[in-house]
Structure 1
């Protein structure tokens, strides 16, 4: 740390030097959000706790998902842009699991008429046979008689039969009983499903299996929260599929012949879109529910700050725009549509530093931070840093430069393709020209502008407002001049204070045949680009340390008609990206 104190100076020495703060500087503890170190306090976003209106929404169309037959998986995928999203849980019936068979012999299975049981007896008595449960629920074993096993759980049948046999053969007899096959059952499915009717399955098959066999629940009419299992005209159990989707809990039911699975009509529902993990239509158990309950299912993203709600009430169409906290206590009703929105503007932005500097390369700063505020916290080694040539790379500027370049290229394409031809010979020339121009356009579109913002000139650095994603470039001090473009030997040349532009070009091998010696650009260390358009400029323009000499190509006026447009584009690329293309 003592080395930093003896070799480091504040970056903007010529502009806003702060010698009093230098001795206390600790590079390892730079924090622009710490008010004790930089004077820039950490900002907390102000939260709007009021309720504001976002205007009057018109009624939205309620055209649901068309389901002529089997459910299409693509229709069940969530999409926040749909007016009427699919219901929550609809993708439960998107898979093909109804073709996966199980043996049905789980421990909770209840023995029914027609089931087959394998019985082994050894020791004093030897007996082995497969017996079938008759219509009265009995199995018959010679010398033992009938044993009633109807509705006995599969896990208990071995103990029951063994106890009956050992009641007769008391000594030196061992028994083993195993349920081999389960009798299929016939179940009726009714209500709001795609294909109601009678379906065969195993008694231990799940409710999901039978619903999938019937095509799934009708997404427009059926309830995913009220599915009744009816036996002998009595409700045996009611299933809520939301419990299964949320926690994996599904009631264990052993079905019997003539059981009925009834899907009740859909309850009240609300549509959810925007910044949530689950943009679906959610069914409410009650006619009204609090926003907090819905949030448990929709799973809003952490960044959500407001919720827009629109729908109809007894008084007519309505819309409100609430903070997320107010939404949690808001009462929702059937038909409401919700849009979860991130409406908090970031009060802290990130800024990157590159080039020659000491300390961290990223800073999280207040949104209103200016360039000098950041530079004041960046130490440098003066002998290694050109602190008079700072510039900024800004994404918004690069995007704008790219848009301007694309517009110019579009204009060039239109001018070539719409150029008139008065004869077949001229048409052939125009076709060849168009081919060359398209090659140029294709290459030019691949150029990525840098987005340079020139902030330093003659040792003075402008104190501009920073934007999110800005990259502050502090150039390294260098004694080299880079010469590139249309020269024979592009290379880096040692700076000579007495050399002219022509000298540097000559040291790089001179101009190529394609070079335009009247259009040479000089890219300064601070990012500024100047052009030498004739011999007088070449002699008068001073080349400084760290400059880049870029010789631009010339456009052949003999074969290309749009010389002016192409020349303009070449200039734009040289300025925006510091490159020269043919």
Structure 2
């Protein structure tokens, strides 16, 4: 058979010998049956009581004899235990009268047997006299994969006295051929005979050894039969033909089992491989019912079956949509046809709605159920938590249910995030980062190309510096993109009574989240200043006041690009010096970096991202530091 198939299949029966064998050392004082055959080394204990009381302990000598006082020597070698007991009784009765006896075995003798041929550990073994053929095989590790299981011989005085087929024991539990060994016996395991493989949907796929003429049905019997999923109308036989090629033969086993066609039960040869294919897993005499029903799944399709038999009032759940359902049907050309119908019309008894069903139809019923929408409220509200919302509910209603804002709440700094916005901004951010990275690479390539006319030393220095700057800018872009809070909506939050009816009283969606922070008392100044810090807020002071309290700008500051991130997440970049600064705002002073190659404003990328996506103040501060 094919090498790949042989690796996947196991040879039947050999695993039995791969477990560790129990000890086969000589045993003492064990009960023996009446058929036990005595030999030199066995010990007999004879108890005599009645008018005469005595105990005789005798060991069978090398001549096969025992000695009993006043009786003499008795030859017991080769006698079974029950016959030896009768012989002792008869001989004692010639000397004594009015007595009774009991004969038991003392120490059993050991025997030496040879296990040779195709076994794992061939050699000579000392074993108990009670040992049988299978005991000898176990102690020798069993037959190797090249050894037979079906013609194991026991040789005594150079003659075969017994031959055992282990398949009789493995398949039927028959140990009648498992004879007891005698000292000097040889257990011989010849090479394996013809083998065939059985694969597929059978109870015990394996490689089996043949003995005599074996047909496919005999092989299936050895394998425990065909599994319920096995297809008998097309089985396949692979075999080598005349040592020149490999051929296959398909046959219908039912032709033999039901009609007696012999050609449908081939005789097997060495190297054959029999495949049992599975039945078609698809169920054809069924229709499926899907949707809000009590018992969805497949239903038996009976002749003339119609919709009313499976779409019943008792089976539908309350949320089922009754005005339109569908039959999804595969047509003969394998295209899909969708046939609508009304469950209301069906229940009203309209014949046009009670359509006839066909094999593999899918009856799909829609549901009017809508998943429960929830939003989360946290921070300085009276009753934070997760709230279930009704369709059309607005932000003011949510704040009322949460008990309103606490006195020290800071509504201007409220963070409102929305899942649908987060997904959209994620796509935009990924697109932006890819565009910026492509621009950086193009810029680096242009600078490198422009350095060709420089001296060799200057050219190398220019290229190295540009590569370092490009790598730095790409790393900055990625770190900023990972730090941005996506999904934030810039809203102007007010108490519920003021919010109601205003443009900021937005409709709520499933997954929305609202966080109300505590009232701030400072303004953050970060970026290219001498001491990035938070400055205590002072009314009517402008941007210059807070920058001066942070030590003023550094030489690297890009003063034309200063912008303010408001507490609500919005960014202000125009007429910044004239803008009023409120508590909770952050003043961002970007850096203008001028490397030797060309100007590269690193934090202008930060400004672009922040202005486009309204990064919260805490995140911007963390990035700038």
Q: Please say if residues 483 and 505 of structure 1, whose CA atoms lie closer than 8 Å, have aligned partners that are also in contact.
A: no
SS at match of 1:223: coil
Query: Are positions 1:484 and 2:371 aligned together?
Result: no
Give the TM-score of the pair, scaled to structure 1: 0.56
Counterpart position of 2:236: 308
Residues 56-90 of structure 1: CA deviation (Å, up to 9, x unaligned): xxx7338xxxxxxxxxxxxxxxxxx6546332100
Counterpart position of 1:236: 161
Alignment gaps of 5+ in structure 2: 257-263, 329-337, 347-352, 379-384, 405-413, 425-488, 492-500, 502-507, 515-568, 570-604, 613-625
Residues 556-576 of structure 1: CA deviation (Å, up to 9, x unaligned): 998999xx9xxxxxxxxxxxx
Q: Please say if residues 229 and 261 of structure 1, whose CA atoms lie closer than 8 Å, have aligned partners that are also in contact.
A: yes
Offset of 1:520 from its aligned partner?
11
CA gap 1:114/1:93 in 2 versus in 1, 3 angstroms: same
Distance 1:227 1:97 in 2: 19
Query: Are positions 1:247 and 2:176 aligned together?
Result: no
Distance 2:160 2:101 in 1: 40
Counterpart position of 2:300: 365
Distance 1:216 1:187 in 2: 15
5 Å-filtered alignment, 1:553-572, equals none
Distance 1:490 1:158 in 2: 93
Greater C-alpha Rg: 2
Counterpart position of 2:274: 338
Counterpart position of 2:320: 386
Offset of 1:195 from its aligned partner?
2.6
5 Å-filtered alignment, 1:297-446, equals 297-299=222-224, 300-305=226-231, 306-314=234-242, 316-325=245-254, 329-346=265-282, 347-348=284-285, 351=288, 355=292, 362-366=297-301, 373=307, 376-380=310-314, 384-388=318-322
Q: 512-521 vs 174-183, which deviates more?
A: 512-521
Q: In the comparison of the two structures, how many residue pairs are matched?
A: 393
Distance 1:219 1:280 in 2: 13
Counterpart position of 1:86: 10
Query: Are positions 1:551 and 2:511 aligned together?
Result: yes
State the structure with bigger RCO (CA 8 A, min sep 6), 1 or 2: 1
Offset of 1:343 from its aligned partner?
3.8
Q: Please say if residues 134 and 178 of structure 2, whose CA atoms lie closer than 8 Å, have aligned partners that are also in contact.
A: no
5 Å-filtered alignment, 1:450-461, equals none
Q: Please say if residues 520 and 549 of structure 1, whose CA atoms lie closer than 8 Å, have aligned partners that are also in contact.
A: no
Offset of 1:485 from its aligned partner?
5.0
Distance 2:167 2:83 in 1: 33
Distance 2:420 2:247 in 1: 70
Residues 306-341 of structure 1: CA deviation (Å, up to 9, x unaligned): 433222022631013444535861222110122322
Counterpart position of 1:513: 416
Q: Please say if residues 43 and 60 of structure 2, whose CA atoms lie closer than 8 Å, have aligned partners that are also in contact.
A: yes
CA gap 1:180/1:382 in 2 versus in 1, 3 angstroms: closer
Q: Please say if residues 272 and 279 of structure 1, whose CA atoms lie closer than 8 Å, have aligned partners that are also in contact.
A: yes
Alignment gaps of 5+ in structure 1: 1-58, 63-80, 395-452, 522-532, 540-547, 565-582
5 Å-filtered alignment, 1:466-505, equals 475=367, 482-485=372-375, 490-492=386-388, 499=392
Q: Please say if residues 87 and 282 of structure 1, whose CA atoms lie closer than 8 Å, have aligned partners that are also in contact.
A: yes
